[in-house]
Protein backbone atom coordinates (compact mmCIF):
# COMPACT_ATOMS: atom_id res chain seq x y z
CA UNK A 1 0.00 0.00 0.00
CA UNK A 2 2.77 2.39 0.98
CA UNK A 3 4.70 1.39 -2.12
CA UNK A 4 1.66 2.17 -4.27
CA UNK A 5 1.27 5.55 -2.59
CA UNK A 6 4.97 6.26 -3.08
CA UNK A 7 4.64 5.47 -6.75
CA UNK A 8 1.66 7.78 -7.15
CA UNK A 9 3.71 10.52 -5.47
CA UNK A 10 6.49 9.79 -7.97
CA UNK A 11 4.03 10.08 -10.87
CA UNK A 12 2.89 13.44 -9.53
CA UNK A 13 6.49 14.57 -9.08
CA UNK A 14 7.22 13.85 -12.74
CA UNK A 15 4.18 15.93 -13.66
CA UNK A 16 5.40 18.81 -11.50
CA UNK A 17 8.90 18.55 -13.02
CA UNK A 18 7.46 18.64 -16.54
CA UNK A 19 5.28 21.64 -15.68
CA UNK A 20 8.18 23.37 -13.90
CA UNK A 21 10.36 22.90 -16.99
CA UNK A 22 8.13 25.35 -18.84
CA UNK A 23 9.10 28.14 -16.48
CA UNK A 24 12.72 27.36 -15.60
CA UNK A 25 15.18 29.02 -17.95
CA UNK A 26 12.66 29.80 -20.69
CA UNK A 27 15.36 30.74 -23.22
CA UNK A 28 16.66 27.19 -23.25
CA UNK A 29 15.79 24.61 -25.82
CA UNK A 30 12.99 26.57 -27.54
CA UNK A 31 13.06 25.13 -31.04
CA UNK A 32 14.38 21.71 -30.02
CA UNK A 33 11.70 21.19 -27.37
CA UNK A 34 8.94 22.48 -29.64
CA UNK A 35 10.06 20.00 -32.29
CA UNK A 36 9.90 17.19 -29.75
CA UNK A 37 6.39 18.25 -28.69
CA UNK A 38 5.28 18.35 -32.33
CA UNK A 39 6.73 14.87 -32.93
CA UNK A 40 4.82 13.50 -29.94
CA UNK A 41 1.56 15.18 -31.03
CA UNK A 42 1.90 13.78 -34.55
CA UNK A 43 2.53 10.28 -33.25
CA UNK A 44 -0.02 10.21 -30.46
CA UNK A 45 -2.79 12.47 -31.77
CA UNK A 46 -2.63 12.95 -35.55
CA UNK A 47 -1.70 9.36 -36.43
CA UNK A 48 -4.38 8.08 -34.03
CA UNK A 49 -7.31 9.91 -35.67
CA UNK A 50 -8.30 7.11 -38.12
CA UNK A 51 -8.35 4.48 -35.39
CA UNK A 52 -10.33 6.66 -33.00
CA UNK A 53 -12.82 7.61 -35.73
CA UNK A 54 -13.21 3.97 -36.76
CA UNK A 55 -13.86 2.74 -33.24
CA UNK A 56 -16.17 5.65 -32.39
CA UNK A 57 -18.13 5.09 -35.57
CA UNK A 58 -18.54 1.36 -35.04
CA UNK A 59 -19.55 1.77 -31.37
CA UNK A 60 -22.18 4.31 -32.35
CA UNK A 61 -23.60 2.16 -35.13
CA UNK A 62 -23.89 -0.72 -32.65
CA UNK A 63 -25.81 1.48 -30.21
CA UNK A 64 -28.11 2.83 -32.89
CA UNK A 65 -28.81 -0.67 -34.19
CA UNK A 66 -29.51 -2.06 -30.70
CA UNK A 67 -31.79 0.82 -29.77
CA UNK A 68 -33.60 0.75 -33.09
CA UNK A 69 -34.18 -2.98 -32.72
CA UNK A 70 -35.19 -3.16 -29.08
CA UNK A 71 -36.79 0.15 -28.15
CA UNK A 72 -40.34 1.20 -29.01
CA UNK A 73 -40.29 3.34 -32.12
CA UNK A 74 -41.72 6.42 -30.46
CA UNK A 75 -38.94 6.69 -27.91
CA UNK A 76 -36.04 5.84 -30.26
CA UNK A 77 -34.61 9.33 -30.92
CA UNK A 78 -34.76 10.32 -27.26
CA UNK A 79 -33.17 7.05 -26.19
CA UNK A 80 -30.39 7.29 -28.79
CA UNK A 81 -29.78 10.91 -27.84
CA UNK A 82 -29.76 10.12 -24.15
CA UNK A 83 -27.36 7.21 -24.56
CA UNK A 84 -25.02 9.22 -26.74
CA UNK A 85 -25.02 12.21 -24.41
CA UNK A 86 -24.61 10.46 -21.09
CA UNK A 87 -22.94 7.15 -21.81
CA UNK A 88 -20.77 7.98 -24.78
CA UNK A 89 -19.86 11.67 -24.48
CA UNK A 90 -19.35 11.76 -20.73
CA UNK A 91 -18.13 8.22 -20.08
CA UNK A 92 -17.01 6.20 -23.07
CA UNK A 93 -15.47 8.92 -25.25
CA UNK A 94 -12.72 9.98 -22.83
CA UNK A 95 -12.14 6.48 -21.47
CA UNK A 96 -12.08 4.71 -24.83
CA UNK A 97 -9.85 7.43 -26.24
CA UNK A 98 -7.53 7.04 -23.27
CA UNK A 99 -7.36 3.28 -23.88
CA UNK A 100 -6.52 3.89 -27.55
CA UNK A 101 -3.88 6.52 -26.69
CA UNK A 102 -2.43 4.20 -24.04
CA UNK A 103 -2.34 1.22 -26.40
CA UNK A 104 -0.61 3.28 -29.08
CA UNK A 105 1.71 5.40 -26.95
CA UNK A 106 2.16 4.07 -23.43
CA UNK A 107 4.36 1.11 -24.34
CA UNK A 108 6.14 3.22 -26.98
CA UNK A 109 7.06 5.93 -24.47
CA UNK A 110 8.05 3.41 -21.80
CA UNK A 111 10.25 1.45 -24.18
CA UNK A 112 11.81 4.56 -25.72
CA UNK A 113 12.68 6.14 -22.37
CA UNK A 114 13.70 2.78 -20.90
CA UNK A 115 16.09 2.19 -23.78
CA UNK A 116 17.46 5.71 -23.47
CA UNK A 117 17.91 5.29 -19.75
CA UNK A 118 19.66 1.93 -20.16
CA UNK A 119 21.99 3.27 -22.88
CA UNK A 120 22.99 6.22 -20.70
CA UNK A 121 21.33 8.72 -23.05
CA UNK A 122 19.32 10.39 -20.28
CA UNK A 123 22.49 10.84 -18.27
CA UNK A 124 24.27 12.13 -21.37
CA UNK A 125 21.61 14.83 -21.70
CA UNK A 126 22.32 15.90 -18.12
CA UNK A 127 26.04 16.05 -18.80
CA UNK A 128 25.31 18.43 -21.69
CA UNK A 129 23.30 20.63 -19.28
CA UNK A 130 20.14 19.70 -21.15
CA UNK A 131 17.38 19.30 -18.60
CA UNK A 132 15.72 15.89 -19.21
CA UNK A 133 12.55 17.28 -17.64
CA UNK A 134 12.35 19.79 -20.45
CA UNK A 135 13.73 17.68 -23.29
CA UNK A 136 12.05 14.36 -22.46
CA UNK A 137 9.19 14.81 -19.98
CA UNK A 138 7.62 18.07 -21.16
CA UNK A 139 7.11 16.93 -24.79
CA UNK A 140 5.56 13.65 -23.67
CA UNK A 141 3.27 15.25 -21.10
CA UNK A 142 2.20 17.94 -23.55
CA UNK A 143 1.85 15.57 -26.49
CA UNK A 144 -0.09 12.87 -24.67
CA UNK A 145 -2.42 15.32 -22.94
CA UNK A 146 -3.14 17.17 -26.18
CA UNK A 147 -3.66 13.79 -27.87
CA UNK A 148 -6.09 12.62 -25.21
CA UNK A 149 -8.20 15.80 -25.31
CA UNK A 150 -8.17 16.30 -29.07
CA UNK A 151 -8.94 12.64 -29.81
CA UNK A 152 -11.81 12.76 -27.31
CA UNK A 153 -13.24 15.65 -29.32
CA UNK A 154 -12.69 13.68 -32.54
CA UNK A 155 -14.37 10.67 -30.92
CA UNK A 156 -17.39 12.75 -29.89
CA UNK A 157 -17.72 14.42 -33.28
CA UNK A 158 -17.52 11.04 -34.99
CA UNK A 159 -20.18 9.67 -32.66
CA UNK A 160 -22.60 12.44 -33.66
CA UNK A 161 -21.83 11.96 -37.34
CA UNK A 162 -22.16 8.18 -37.13
CA UNK A 163 -25.41 8.46 -35.18
CA UNK A 164 -26.89 10.70 -37.84
CA UNK A 165 -25.73 8.33 -40.58
CA UNK A 166 -27.01 5.32 -38.66
CA UNK A 167 -30.44 6.87 -38.13
CA UNK A 168 -30.67 7.67 -41.81
CA UNK A 169 -29.35 4.32 -43.07
CA UNK A 170 -31.43 2.20 -40.71
CA UNK A 171 -34.50 4.20 -41.49
CA UNK A 172 -35.24 4.75 -37.82
CA UNK A 173 -38.57 6.37 -37.20
CA UNK A 174 -37.02 9.75 -36.82
CA UNK A 175 -35.33 12.45 -38.83
CA UNK A 176 -31.71 13.42 -38.50
CA UNK A 177 -32.91 16.90 -37.61
CA UNK A 178 -34.95 15.44 -34.75
CA UNK A 179 -31.90 13.57 -33.47
CA UNK A 180 -29.83 16.73 -33.71
CA UNK A 181 -32.43 18.58 -31.66
CA UNK A 182 -32.40 15.85 -29.01
CA UNK A 183 -28.59 15.83 -28.86
CA UNK A 184 -28.50 19.61 -28.67
CA UNK A 185 -30.81 19.43 -25.68
CA UNK A 186 -29.00 16.62 -23.90
CA UNK A 187 -25.31 17.31 -24.60
CA UNK A 188 -24.76 20.19 -22.25
CA UNK A 189 -21.67 22.30 -21.74
CA UNK A 190 -21.28 20.49 -18.42
CA UNK A 191 -21.15 17.10 -20.13
CA UNK A 192 -18.51 18.35 -22.55
CA UNK A 193 -16.53 19.97 -19.72
CA UNK A 194 -16.57 16.72 -17.77
CA UNK A 195 -15.35 14.87 -20.85
CA UNK A 196 -12.51 17.36 -21.37
CA UNK A 197 -11.52 17.26 -17.69
CA UNK A 198 -11.44 13.48 -17.82
CA UNK A 199 -9.45 13.46 -21.06
CA UNK A 200 -6.91 15.88 -19.56
CA UNK A 201 -6.54 13.74 -16.45
CA UNK A 202 -6.13 10.59 -18.55
CA UNK A 203 -3.47 12.21 -20.73
CA UNK A 204 -1.50 13.22 -17.65
CA UNK A 205 -1.87 9.73 -16.19
CA UNK A 206 -0.66 8.04 -19.38
CA UNK A 207 2.32 10.39 -19.60
CA UNK A 208 3.39 10.16 -15.98
CA UNK A 209 3.03 6.38 -15.67
CA UNK A 210 4.80 5.60 -18.94
CA UNK A 211 7.61 8.11 -18.26
CA UNK A 212 8.07 6.79 -14.72
CA UNK A 213 8.37 3.17 -15.80
CA UNK A 214 10.63 4.06 -18.72
CA UNK A 215 13.02 6.10 -16.61
CA UNK A 216 13.02 3.38 -13.93
CA UNK A 217 14.93 1.06 -16.27
CA UNK A 218 18.57 1.46 -15.30
CA UNK A 219 21.29 -1.09 -15.82
CA UNK A 220 19.17 -4.15 -16.64
CA UNK A 221 17.50 -4.01 -20.05
CA UNK A 222 15.56 -7.22 -19.26
CA UNK A 223 13.32 -5.12 -16.98
CA UNK A 224 12.03 -3.24 -20.00
CA UNK A 225 9.28 -5.61 -21.24
CA UNK A 226 7.99 -6.02 -17.69
CA UNK A 227 7.97 -2.26 -17.18
CA UNK A 228 6.11 -1.68 -20.44
CA UNK A 229 3.40 -4.22 -19.54
CA UNK A 230 3.11 -2.89 -16.02
CA UNK A 231 2.79 0.67 -17.24
CA UNK A 232 -0.09 -0.27 -19.54
CA UNK A 233 -1.95 -2.18 -16.82
CA UNK A 234 -1.46 0.65 -14.32
CA UNK A 235 -2.69 3.21 -16.85
CA UNK A 236 -5.87 1.21 -17.44
CA UNK A 237 -6.54 0.76 -13.71
CA UNK A 238 -5.79 4.41 -12.88
CA UNK A 239 -7.81 5.82 -15.77
CA UNK A 240 -10.82 3.65 -14.91
CA UNK A 241 -10.59 4.65 -11.24
CA UNK A 242 -10.25 8.34 -12.02
CA UNK A 243 -13.11 8.06 -14.51
CA UNK A 244 -15.41 6.69 -11.79
CA UNK A 245 -14.22 9.32 -9.31
CA UNK A 246 -14.88 12.23 -11.70
CA UNK A 247 -18.26 10.77 -12.68
CA UNK A 248 -19.31 10.57 -9.03
CA UNK A 249 -18.13 14.11 -8.33
CA UNK A 250 -19.84 15.49 -11.42
CA UNK A 251 -23.18 13.76 -10.86
CA UNK B 1 37.18 43.76 -8.78
CA UNK B 2 39.30 40.92 -10.16
CA UNK B 3 39.45 37.62 -8.35
CA UNK B 4 43.00 37.29 -6.98
CA UNK B 5 42.69 33.55 -6.33
CA UNK B 6 40.37 31.92 -8.82
CA UNK B 7 39.24 28.48 -7.67
CA UNK B 8 41.03 25.42 -9.00
CA UNK B 9 39.26 23.66 -11.84
CA UNK B 10 38.86 20.60 -9.64
CA UNK B 11 39.52 20.36 -5.93
CA UNK B 12 38.99 17.01 -4.25
CA UNK B 13 39.37 16.74 -0.50
CA UNK B 14 39.15 13.54 1.58
CA UNK B 15 37.05 11.83 -1.07
CA UNK B 16 35.64 8.41 -0.30
CA UNK B 17 33.67 6.85 -3.13
CA UNK B 18 30.29 5.16 -2.69
CA UNK B 19 31.84 1.83 -3.70
CA UNK B 20 34.88 2.13 -1.39
CA UNK B 21 35.11 -0.41 1.44
CA UNK B 22 35.16 0.83 5.05
CA UNK B 23 38.55 2.20 5.99
CA UNK B 24 39.45 3.26 2.47
CA UNK B 25 42.10 5.94 2.17
CA UNK B 26 40.48 9.31 1.43
CA UNK B 27 41.69 10.90 -1.78
CA UNK B 28 42.98 14.44 -2.29
CA UNK B 29 43.58 15.95 -5.69
CA UNK B 30 43.81 19.43 -7.16
CA UNK B 31 43.66 20.08 -10.87
CA UNK B 32 44.47 23.63 -11.86
CA UNK B 33 42.81 25.33 -14.81
CA UNK B 34 44.49 24.38 -18.07
CA UNK B 35 46.02 21.15 -16.76
CA UNK B 36 45.52 17.86 -18.56
CA UNK B 37 45.41 15.05 -16.03
CA UNK B 38 44.98 11.30 -16.37
CA UNK B 39 43.81 9.04 -13.57
CA UNK B 40 45.48 5.75 -14.41
CA UNK B 41 45.37 2.39 -12.71
CA UNK B 42 44.16 -1.17 -12.89
CA UNK B 43 40.67 -0.62 -11.51
CA UNK B 44 38.79 1.09 -14.36
CA UNK B 45 35.48 0.87 -12.46
CA UNK B 46 36.89 2.89 -9.59
CA UNK B 47 38.61 5.35 -11.91
CA UNK B 48 35.36 5.86 -13.81
CA UNK B 49 33.48 6.42 -10.57
CA UNK B 50 35.87 9.24 -9.65
CA UNK B 51 35.11 10.94 -12.97
CA UNK B 52 31.36 10.42 -12.40
CA UNK B 53 31.61 12.00 -8.94
CA UNK B 54 33.51 14.98 -10.36
CA UNK B 55 30.83 15.29 -13.05
CA UNK B 56 28.12 15.29 -10.38
CA UNK B 57 26.57 12.05 -11.70
CA UNK B 58 27.23 10.30 -8.38
CA UNK B 59 27.52 11.67 -4.87
CA UNK B 60 30.63 10.93 -2.83
CA UNK B 61 30.26 8.76 0.29
CA UNK B 62 32.21 11.46 2.13
CA UNK B 63 34.56 14.34 1.42
CA UNK B 64 34.12 17.28 -0.90
CA UNK B 65 34.55 17.64 -4.65
CA UNK B 66 34.56 21.18 -5.96
CA UNK B 67 34.48 22.02 -9.65
CA UNK B 68 35.22 25.68 -10.35
CA UNK B 69 34.36 26.30 -6.70
CA UNK B 70 30.99 24.52 -6.77
CA UNK B 71 30.61 21.62 -4.34
CA UNK B 72 29.12 19.06 -6.71
CA UNK B 73 28.37 16.61 -3.91
CA UNK B 74 26.03 19.07 -2.21
CA UNK B 75 24.76 20.98 -5.24
CA UNK B 76 21.12 20.95 -6.29
CA UNK B 77 20.06 19.52 -9.64
CA UNK B 78 19.57 23.01 -11.07
CA UNK B 79 23.01 24.14 -9.85
CA UNK B 80 24.57 21.09 -11.48
CA UNK B 81 22.77 21.79 -14.75
CA UNK B 82 24.12 25.34 -14.60
CA UNK B 83 27.66 24.15 -13.85
CA UNK B 84 27.58 21.59 -16.67
CA UNK B 85 27.27 24.37 -19.23
CA UNK B 86 31.01 24.80 -18.74
CA UNK B 87 31.83 21.09 -18.75
CA UNK B 88 32.15 18.60 -21.58
CA UNK B 89 31.60 15.00 -20.56
CA UNK B 90 32.37 11.80 -22.47
CA UNK B 91 30.99 8.63 -20.94
CA UNK B 92 32.32 5.12 -21.56
CA UNK B 93 29.76 4.30 -24.27
CA UNK B 94 29.31 7.86 -25.51
CA UNK B 95 25.58 8.12 -24.80
CA UNK B 96 24.56 9.31 -28.27
CA UNK B 97 20.80 9.60 -28.74
CA UNK B 98 20.03 6.57 -30.86
CA UNK B 99 16.94 8.03 -32.55
CA UNK B 100 19.01 10.84 -34.08
CA UNK B 101 21.70 10.92 -36.73
CA UNK B 102 25.31 11.46 -35.74
CA UNK B 103 25.09 15.02 -37.09
CA UNK B 104 21.95 15.79 -35.05
CA UNK B 105 23.65 14.43 -31.96
CA UNK B 106 26.69 16.63 -32.50
CA UNK B 107 24.43 19.64 -33.08
CA UNK B 108 21.98 18.90 -30.25
CA UNK B 109 23.46 21.11 -27.54
CA UNK B 110 24.28 23.80 -30.11
CA UNK B 111 20.61 23.92 -31.13
CA UNK B 112 19.36 23.63 -27.56
CA UNK B 113 21.39 26.62 -26.35
CA UNK B 114 21.21 28.47 -29.66
CA UNK B 115 19.28 31.47 -28.31
CA UNK B 116 21.36 31.67 -25.16
CA UNK B 117 24.64 31.45 -27.10
CA UNK B 118 23.39 34.01 -29.60
CA UNK B 119 24.02 31.66 -32.53
CA UNK B 120 21.98 31.78 -35.71
CA UNK B 121 21.09 28.62 -37.65
CA UNK B 122 24.00 29.18 -40.05
CA UNK B 123 26.43 29.50 -37.19
CA UNK B 124 25.14 26.24 -35.67
CA UNK B 125 25.53 24.44 -39.01
CA UNK B 126 29.02 25.83 -39.46
CA UNK B 127 30.13 24.81 -35.98
CA UNK B 128 28.56 21.39 -36.43
CA UNK B 129 30.48 20.86 -39.69
CA UNK B 130 33.70 21.89 -37.94
CA UNK B 131 33.07 19.32 -35.23
CA UNK B 132 32.18 16.60 -37.74
CA UNK B 133 35.49 17.26 -39.50
CA UNK B 134 37.36 17.34 -36.18
CA UNK B 135 36.06 13.87 -35.35
CA UNK B 136 36.60 12.51 -38.90
CA UNK B 137 32.90 11.69 -39.01
CA UNK B 138 32.04 12.90 -42.51
CA UNK B 139 31.26 9.41 -43.82
CA UNK B 140 28.81 8.54 -41.06
CA UNK B 141 27.43 11.97 -40.18
CA UNK B 142 24.00 11.39 -41.67
CA UNK B 143 23.52 7.83 -40.45
CA UNK B 144 21.42 7.03 -37.37
CA UNK B 145 23.71 7.00 -34.35
CA UNK B 146 22.47 3.55 -33.32
CA UNK B 147 23.79 1.84 -36.47
CA UNK B 148 27.20 3.51 -36.54
CA UNK B 149 30.17 1.45 -35.26
CA UNK B 150 31.07 2.05 -31.63
CA UNK B 151 34.35 3.84 -32.33
CA UNK B 152 32.54 6.45 -34.42
CA UNK B 153 29.97 6.87 -31.67
CA UNK B 154 32.80 7.52 -29.24
CA UNK B 155 34.38 10.10 -31.54
CA UNK B 156 30.99 11.76 -32.01
CA UNK B 157 30.52 11.87 -28.24
CA UNK B 158 33.91 13.56 -27.96
CA UNK B 159 33.18 16.28 -30.48
CA UNK B 160 29.67 16.74 -29.06
CA UNK B 161 31.24 17.37 -25.65
CA UNK B 162 33.57 19.95 -27.17
CA UNK B 163 30.83 21.69 -29.14
CA UNK B 164 30.24 24.66 -26.84
CA UNK B 165 33.91 25.17 -25.96
CA UNK B 166 33.79 23.86 -22.39
CA UNK B 167 36.33 24.94 -19.78
CA UNK B 168 36.64 21.39 -18.47
CA UNK B 169 36.52 18.06 -20.31
CA UNK B 170 35.83 14.91 -18.29
CA UNK B 171 36.38 11.57 -20.00
CA UNK B 172 35.41 8.27 -18.38
CA UNK B 173 37.42 5.85 -20.49
CA UNK B 174 38.85 7.18 -23.76
CA UNK B 175 40.10 3.80 -24.95
CA UNK B 176 36.81 1.93 -24.54
CA UNK B 177 35.23 0.75 -27.81
CA UNK B 178 38.04 2.19 -29.92
CA UNK B 179 40.00 0.47 -32.66
CA UNK B 180 43.43 1.84 -33.71
CA UNK B 181 42.00 4.44 -36.08
CA UNK B 182 39.62 5.64 -33.39
CA UNK B 183 42.52 5.95 -30.96
CA UNK B 184 44.40 8.06 -33.48
CA UNK B 185 41.36 10.29 -33.92
CA UNK B 186 40.98 10.71 -30.17
CA UNK B 187 44.67 11.54 -29.83
CA UNK B 188 44.36 14.08 -32.63
CA UNK B 189 41.35 15.64 -30.90
CA UNK B 190 43.25 15.93 -27.67
CA UNK B 191 46.26 17.41 -29.41
CA UNK B 192 44.02 20.07 -30.99
CA UNK B 193 42.16 21.06 -27.83
CA UNK B 194 45.13 20.92 -25.48
CA UNK B 195 46.45 24.23 -26.66
CA UNK B 196 43.13 25.99 -26.11
CA UNK B 197 43.50 26.16 -22.34
CA UNK B 198 40.83 23.58 -21.63
CA UNK B 199 41.26 21.52 -18.48
CA UNK B 200 41.08 17.77 -19.05
CA UNK B 201 40.57 15.00 -16.52
CA UNK B 202 40.30 11.48 -17.84
CA UNK B 203 40.42 8.01 -16.36
CA UNK B 204 41.91 5.09 -18.24
CA UNK B 205 43.48 1.73 -17.61
CA UNK B 206 45.08 1.86 -21.05
CA UNK B 207 48.31 3.53 -20.03
CA UNK B 208 49.74 3.67 -23.54
CA UNK B 209 46.91 5.80 -24.82
CA UNK B 210 46.44 7.90 -21.70
CA UNK B 211 50.14 8.84 -21.53
CA UNK B 212 49.77 10.46 -24.93
CA UNK B 213 46.57 12.30 -24.10
CA UNK B 214 47.63 14.09 -20.90
CA UNK B 215 50.65 15.82 -19.46
CA UNK B 216 50.15 14.87 -15.82
CA UNK B 217 49.46 11.33 -14.72
CA UNK B 218 48.28 9.90 -11.41
CA UNK B 219 48.63 6.19 -10.83
CA UNK B 220 46.13 4.73 -8.40
CA UNK B 221 47.08 1.52 -6.67
CA UNK B 222 43.85 0.52 -4.99
CA UNK B 223 42.67 3.67 -3.25
CA UNK B 224 46.15 5.19 -2.96
CA UNK B 225 47.82 7.59 -5.38
CA UNK B 226 51.24 6.01 -5.84
CA UNK B 227 52.49 8.33 -8.57
CA UNK B 228 51.70 11.93 -9.39
CA UNK B 229 53.89 13.49 -12.04
CA UNK B 230 54.50 13.96 -15.73
CA UNK B 231 52.82 11.24 -17.77
CA UNK B 232 55.96 10.74 -19.86
CA UNK B 233 57.96 9.64 -16.82
CA UNK B 234 55.41 7.24 -15.36
CA UNK B 235 57.54 4.39 -13.93
CA UNK B 236 57.29 1.31 -16.10
CA UNK B 237 56.85 -0.97 -13.09
CA UNK B 238 53.56 0.77 -12.29
CA UNK B 239 52.19 0.03 -15.74
CA UNK B 240 52.67 -3.72 -16.14
CA UNK B 241 53.98 -4.90 -19.46
CA UNK B 242 51.33 -5.54 -22.06
CA UNK B 243 49.09 -2.73 -20.87
CA UNK B 244 50.01 -0.56 -23.81
CA UNK B 245 47.77 -2.58 -25.99
CA UNK B 246 47.30 -1.50 -29.56
CA UNK B 247 49.50 0.13 -32.21
CA UNK B 248 49.25 3.85 -32.02
CA UNK B 249 50.13 6.83 -34.09
CA UNK B 250 49.18 10.47 -34.30
CA UNK B 251 48.57 11.20 -37.96
State pLDDT tens for residues A129-146: 999 999 999 999 999 999
Partner-chain contact B95 A123, CB within 8 Å: yes
User: What pLDDT band is residue B245 in, cutting at 50, 70 and 90?
Assistant: very low
Looking at residue B244, its pLDDT comes to 46
Residue A53 to residue A50: CA distance in whole angstroms: 5
Compute the average pLDDT of residues A38-43.
Answer: 95
Instruction: Look at residue B242 and tell me whether its pLDDT is greater than 50.
Output: no
B72, B56 Cβ separation under 8 angstroms = yes
* CA distance to partner chain B, nearest, from residue A88 (Å): 39
* CA distance to partner chain B, nearest, from residue A40 (Å): 14
User: What pLDDT band is residue B243 in, cutting at 50, 70 and 90?
Assistant: very low
% of chain B beyond a pLDDT of 90: 58
Q: Where are the domains of chain B?
A: 10-97+165-231
% of chain A beyond a pLDDT of 90: 59
Instruction: Look at residue A33 and tell me whether its pLDDT is greater than 50.
Output: yes
Instruction: Look at residue B247 and tell me whether its pLDDT is greater than 50.
Output: no
Say whether domain B10-97+165-231 belongs to CATH 3.40.50.300: yes
Q: Where are the domains of chain A?
A: 32-250
State pLDDT tens for residues A92-117: 899 999 999 999 999 999 999 999 99
Of the candidates A150, A163, A239, which has an alpha carbon nearest to the alpha carbon of residue A201? A239
Averaged confidence pLDDT in chain B:
87
- pLDDT-wise least confident of A81-95, A104-118, B57-71, B98-112: A81-95
Looking at residue B1, its pLDDT comes to 46
CB < 8 Å to A124, chain B: 89, 91, 94-97, 157
DSSP B144: B
Instruction: Look at residue B144 and tell me whether its pLDDT is greater than 90.
Output: yes
pTM of the model: 0.86
Compute the average pLDDT of residues B51-70.
Answer: 95
Compute the average pLDDT of residues B136-155.
Answer: 91
Averaged confidence pLDDT in chain A:
87
Residue B73 to residue B65: CA distance in whole angstroms: 6
Instruction: Look at residue B58 and tell me whether its pLDDT is greater than 70.
Output: yes
Question: Closest to B109 (Cβ–Cβ): which among A112, A120, A130?
Answer: A130
SS (H, E, C) chain A: CHHHHHHHHHHHHHHHHHHHHHHCCCCCCHHHHHHHHHHHHHHHCHHHHHHHHHHHHHHHHHHHHHHHHHCCHHHHHHHHHHHHHHHHHHHHHHHHHHHHHHHHHHHHHHHHHHHHHHCCHHHHHHHCCCCHHHHHHHHHHHHHHHHHHHHHHHHHHHHHHHHHHHHHHCCCCCCHHHHHHHHHHHCCHHHHHHHHHHHHHHHHHHHHHHHHHHHCCCCCCCHHHHHHHHHHHHHHHHHHHHHHHHHHHHC
State pLDDT tens for residues A149-184: 999 999 999 988 888 887 777 766 556 666 666 666
Residue of chain A nearest B54, judged by CA positions = A127
Looking at residue B79, its pLDDT comes to 92
Query: Which site among B79, B113, B201 would you substitute to test the A interface, given the most A Cβ atoms closer than 10 Å to its Cβ?
Result: B113
Compute the average pLDDT of residues A225-236.
Answer: 95
Looking at residue A3, its pLDDT comes to 79
Amino acid sequence: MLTDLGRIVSYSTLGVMAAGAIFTRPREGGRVVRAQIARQIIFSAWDGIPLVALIAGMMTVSIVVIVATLAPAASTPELIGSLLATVIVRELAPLTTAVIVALRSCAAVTVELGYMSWRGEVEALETMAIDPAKFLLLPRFAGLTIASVSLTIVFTATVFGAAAAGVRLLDVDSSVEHLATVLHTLVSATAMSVAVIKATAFGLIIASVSCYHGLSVRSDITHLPRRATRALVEVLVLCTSVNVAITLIAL
Amino acid sequence: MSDANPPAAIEIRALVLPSDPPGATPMDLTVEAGETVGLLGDDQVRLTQIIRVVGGLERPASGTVKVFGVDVGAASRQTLLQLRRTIGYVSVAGGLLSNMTVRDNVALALHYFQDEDGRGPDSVTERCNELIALGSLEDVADQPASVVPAEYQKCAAYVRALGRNPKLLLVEDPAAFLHPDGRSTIARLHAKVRGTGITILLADDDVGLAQRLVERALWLTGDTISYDGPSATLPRELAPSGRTMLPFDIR
